[in-house]
Chains A and B, each alone.
Chain A
């Protein structure tokens, strides 16, 4: 916790301590008195005897600045304490009690904010007398409304937390809750604001003093010193500079200390955090052959360097995709599905990302493209649709503007052409009254309509591959089917490939030609949809299938779940990442990572690792390059898709029984049902 404060906090604290000590010890420090005239020659610059020089009357400037700190710091600390004393109880009351108390108190602070505070401070001090006490009281009271607001905000956020709600529900007395739960939790934000408040109070006192309305001469104040020095700054600029610099450093220190304290509790960063160097390093790529396919992903890796370790979000994924086909990527939340799409498209967040592997589009290595060239590929040849249509559209731009933008940027259309094309695109995704929709904002459309708009946007420049990241998860069931049907129809019309990320196996069974099952950033099973769903080998896939509730289940049957929780991607288990949750695991699973094994080979014999399948490559390496699936047939898409693309296909027809179909591969030492079909699981997923 102390380390997180950083050097700025300690330097600021040290300076405040120095100024505070100097102010307290001002009378005993070995220097001339602040009001001793002709302690040195008048208007002399800094010297050994007078480190900050002397003023017009030959008084020692250092001594005057040190004595001035008494007023500045005294008012700064005093005003904050007074403001807290008045404002904090009201803030706690408003935040905890809510309702009437809150309304009254907040209306009061609203009115107080409309008051010109400094004008009032000036008037009160001028009329009531410019003494330290009056300045302190005025600044303290004028600061109180701000304290009420801040403390109310902090209280409000604590009062809504579970432990307070629970305590209230259990009938704990308010006083007890306030002292035990609220006050300790509000103290930390209050402390950070207190330092920032001190900076404000020091500046305000300086302003009063500068106008001649703070503690009167001969007592020196920082603002007063600057005002005095102004008259002769042409000849003796040090008179202005010395108090200015001291004041700046003090205010800066209060602000820094306050900001660092706030960083301990606040989520938002202020920008003063220590620099994290972006790592240019990349991960090695396993040797592979670039095939003659539309899209080939080879040994793709994306690791994030986080404080608690390296998060292996995508860890050696290889796959291929042909025109006119749909590849589904399935897995639990956190298995790396979405990150896989972002990695393929090169849309990773800035920061410490380690990347490895290659992405080929018709044999061209996209990972070697400079950003500008990659941007020409994005949107024109590769396009994406995301899960939540609520967040996928810019809320402040009209549908028409958003839809026309890629057309104008990539296809060089004029405004009118782009608008006409945008309307045509909206019509093609089944939006009624496209012309009107173009003039609307996203929040004026329903979720299903919005997702159609994002699909239209993705398709606007005629991409070769559409990446759909859970495109229907946020939609309700009837809309889901419409959207998937739409994607399927457009795939056929435009001869594109679709990479569909989903955790919904019924969607996968209905719409995908091939399936890739991911676990902990790796591919654990892949192959033709029917093969994988009907002759499941990997226990993880089996568990996924069994976790799907079925209409044929007897009533009151317990939902089957996958036991345990998805692994921490920063600290993966050794061996097979699934083994801690796998009912069939044995010691070998905990020590050796199984490679992808062709399902057509005999299942690996139990026993020493050397007895592994000959084609599997080194068992420790989970991504044997030898098992790139052979390129699929280059035949016309009609050979793959049924004649009427909008119709769901029967499962059996999902993959043509052809020798060029993708191979069924799995990563497991103890595959399930080698040869025996788990028909129960698969049947229920056809609709």
Chain B
């Protein structure tokens, strides 16, 4: 089973790297224009292409690049002259911290909200939470971010609008600089999670074993948190894994908006400077991350539901 999964994982990654390499290289636009300027002669361009190996057939270049990937060599950006792997290692912690903070905030608020709504399904609190969730879900991430900056950074001046303090420099300032971006990124996730949990909890609360727990005189609070929550968490766990793709798209916007030096920002900058190699490196990193997280999600299932352990 594990071997099958790993094989599948390898195939997915192979296809993803191939498609991303081919697609990006087939697109019009040429790094030599960016490097030498529009006035460069055709000879100078051809010379640079040869130096960069761009005159080789596509498949050969892909093979060489893939071989490098396996040994951890993502190539060196022809634009910035910095090895792509180095750049990624430097920026990854920022993006990871942002992602983790956003997920923690989203889950930390979504679970109590989902439980509260399910417990009073159809009542005023449930209706209010559902409406709020719908509103959050319908607010684009950049709108949330801009509005939060307008409120907290411009009007009240309690949090910085942009900038980043690494965790290693100062923990307090780090948390201050990650707070607004994380809330921005987590808002829509929270709405999704709360809604999923609410729906599944309502279904679980109609199960016989919940009625029997009530028949044993257990308190509603105990039944909700100790009996009903875990069997209702499967969809939530799935969503956490699947939403990662959307969340990474979100980091591109959030990091640009808040000026965070993460992978998302790197993607935007490299795209504007036609830095294919760096974009490809980012795409590989994100795809591997996505596939690995969903691999981990499958393992979490077993922890949530013992019936899955047998399979």
Which residues of A pack against B, CB within 8 Å? 110-111, 113-120, 122-124, 126-129, 199, 203, 206-207, 210-211, 213, 223, 226-227, 229-230, 233-234, 237, 240-241, 244, 247-248, 251-252, 254-256, 259, 268-273, 275-276, 278, 342, 345, 347, 349-351, 374-380, 382-384, 386, 388, 391-397, 405-406, 409-410, 441, 443, 454, 457-458
Q: Does B158 contact A (CB under 8 A)?
A: no
- Cβ–Cβ < 8 Å partners of B138 in chain A: 199, 248, 251-252, 254-255
Contact string against A for B residues 175-199, beta-carbon threshold 8 Å, 1 for contact and 0 otherwise: 0000000000000000000010011
Q: State how many angstroms separate the Cβ of A19 from the closest Cβ of chain B.
A: 14
Contact of A379 with B218 at beta-carbon distance under 8 Å, contacts A115-B20, A396-B305, A443-B307 already known: yes
Pick the contact of A252: B16, B29, B123, B134 (CB < 8 A). B134
In the bound complex, what is the Cα–Cα distance between A110 and B242 (angstroms)? 11
Contact A119 B279 (CB under 8 A): yes
Contact string against A for B residues 30-73, beta-carbon threshold 8 Å, 1 for contact and 0 otherwise: 00000000000000000000000000000000000000000000
Q: State how many angstroms separate the Cβ of A157 from the closest Cβ of chain B.
A: 18
Q: Which residue of A lies closest to B227 (CB)?
A: A394
Q: Knowing that A210-B253, A375-B219 touch, tell me 12 more A-B residue pairs with CB under 8 angstroms.
A: A116-B283, A119-B252, A128-B28, A129-B28, A240-B150, A244-B147, A251-B138, A271-B199, A377-B217, A395-B209, A397-B226, A457-B212
- Cβ–Cβ < 8 Å partners of B28 in chain A: 127-129
Contact B146 A240 (CB under 8 A): yes
Q: Which residue of A lies closest to B290 (CB)?
A: A114
Q: Which residue of B lies closest to A245 (CB)?
A: B143
Stretch at the interface among B86-94, B166-174, B266-274: B266-274
- Which of A207, A213, A351, A380 gathers the greatest number of chain B CB atoms within 10 Å? A207
Q: State how many angstroms separate the Cβ of B81 from the closest Cβ of chain A.
A: 21
Q: Does B224 contact A (CB under 8 A)?
A: no
Contact B150 A113 (CB under 8 A): no
In the bound complex, what is the Cα–Cα distance between A256 and B131 (angstroms)? 10
In the bound complex, what is the Cα–Cα distance between A377 and B122 (angstroms)? 29
Contact of A347 with B252 at beta-carbon distance under 8 Å, contacts A207-B140, A255-B137 already known: no
Contact A351 B122 (CB under 8 A): yes
- Cβ–Cβ < 8 Å partners of B117 in chain A: 271
In the bound complex, what is the Cα–Cα distance between A386 and B282 (angstroms)? 56
Q: Does B7 contact A (CB under 8 A)?
A: no
Contact A127 B274 (CB under 8 A): yes
Q: Which residue of A lies closest to B24 (CB)?
A: A123
B213-230 contacts to A, CB under 8 A, are: 213-219, 222, 226-227, 230
In the bound complex, what is the Cα–Cα distance between A248 and B147 (angstroms)? 12
Contact B217 A256 (CB under 8 A): no
Report how many residues on chain B are interfacial, defined by Cβ distance under 8 Å: 79
B254-310 contacts to A, CB under 8 A, are: 256-257, 267-268, 271-272, 274, 279, 282-283, 286-287, 290-291, 304-307, 310
Contact A394 B150 (CB under 8 A): no
Contact A247 B140 (CB under 8 A): yes
In the bound complex, what is the Cα–Cα distance between A251 and B218 (angstroms)? 43
In the bound complex, what is the Cα–Cα distance between A528 and B268 (angstroms)? 84
- Cβ–Cβ < 8 Å partners of B130 in chain A: 270-272
- Cβ–Cβ < 8 Å partners of B208 in chain A: 386, 388, 391-392
- Cβ–Cβ < 8 Å partners of B249 in chain A: 116-119, 207
Q: State how many angstroms separate the Cβ of B61 from the closest Cβ of chain A.
A: 17
Contact A457 B216 (CB under 8 A): yes
- Cβ–Cβ < 8 Å partners of B140 in chain A: 203, 206-207, 223, 247-248, 251
Q: State how many angstroms separate the Cβ of A27 from the closest Cβ of chain B.
A: 27
Pick the contact of B195: A114, A128, A256, A271 (CB < 8 A). A271
Q: State how many angstroms separate the Cβ of B164 from the closest Cβ of chain A.
A: 18
Contact A409 B218 (CB under 8 A): yes
In the bound complex, what is the Cα–Cα distance between A455 and B271 (angstroms)? 66
Can you give 30 contacting A-B residue pairs, CB < 8 Å?
A111-B12, A111-B19, A113-B245, A114-B16, A114-B291, A115-B283, A116-B287, A117-B249, A119-B249, A120-B283, A127-B27, A127-B29, A211-B252, A211-B268, A223-B142, A233-B149, A240-B150, A244-B147, A248-B139, A271-B121, A272-B131, A374-B217, A378-B217, A382-B215, A392-B209, A394-B213, A395-B305, A409-B217, A441-B306, A443-B306
Pick the contact of B215: A113, A244, A379 (CB < 8 A). A379
Contact string against A for B residues 100-142, beta-carbon threshold 8 Å, 1 for contact and 0 otherwise: 0000000000000000010001111011001100110111111
Contact A251 B139 (CB under 8 A): yes
Contact B272 A276 (CB under 8 A): no
Q: State how many angstroms separate the Cβ of B256 from the closest Cβ of chain A.
A: 6
Contact A392 B150 (CB under 8 A): no
Contact A248 B216 (CB under 8 A): no
Q: Does B15 contact A (CB under 8 A)?
A: yes
Pick the contact of A379: B137, B142, B216 (CB < 8 A). B216
- Cβ–Cβ < 8 Å partners of A392 in chain B: 208-209, 212
Contact A237 B150 (CB under 8 A): yes
In the bound complex, what is the Cα–Cα distance between A247 and B142 (angstroms)? 11
Q: State how many angstroms separate the Cβ of B47 from the closest Cβ of chain A.
A: 23
Contact A272 B134 (CB under 8 A): yes
In the bound complex, what is the Cα–Cα distance between A243 and B271 (angstroms)? 27
Q: Which residue of A lies closest to B209 (CB)?
A: A394
- Cβ–Cβ < 8 Å partners of B131 in chain A: 272
Contact of A210 with B215 at beta-carbon distance under 8 Å, contacts A119-B252, A275-B127 already known: no
In the bound complex, what is the Cα–Cα distance between A123 and B206 (angstroms)? 48
Contact A349 B27 (CB under 8 A): no
Q: Does B163 contact A (CB under 8 A)?
A: no
Q: Does B85 contact A (CB under 8 A)?
A: no
Contact B142 A207 (CB under 8 A): yes
Q: Does B10 contact A (CB under 8 A)?
A: no
- Cβ–Cβ < 8 Å partners of B16 in chain A: 111, 114-115
Q: Does B211 contact A (CB under 8 A)?
A: yes
Q: Which residue of B lies closest to A243 (CB)?
A: B143
- Cβ–Cβ < 8 Å partners of B305 in chain A: 395-396
Q: State how many angstroms separate the Cβ of B157 from the closest Cβ of chain A.
A: 10
In the bound complex, what is the Cα–Cα distance between A392 and B142 (angstroms)? 48
Contact B150 A126 (CB under 8 A): no
- Which of B28, B211, B248 gathers the greatest number of chain A CB atoms within 10 Å? B211
- Cβ–Cβ < 8 Å partners of B123 in chain A: 275, 278
Contact A380 B150 (CB under 8 A): no
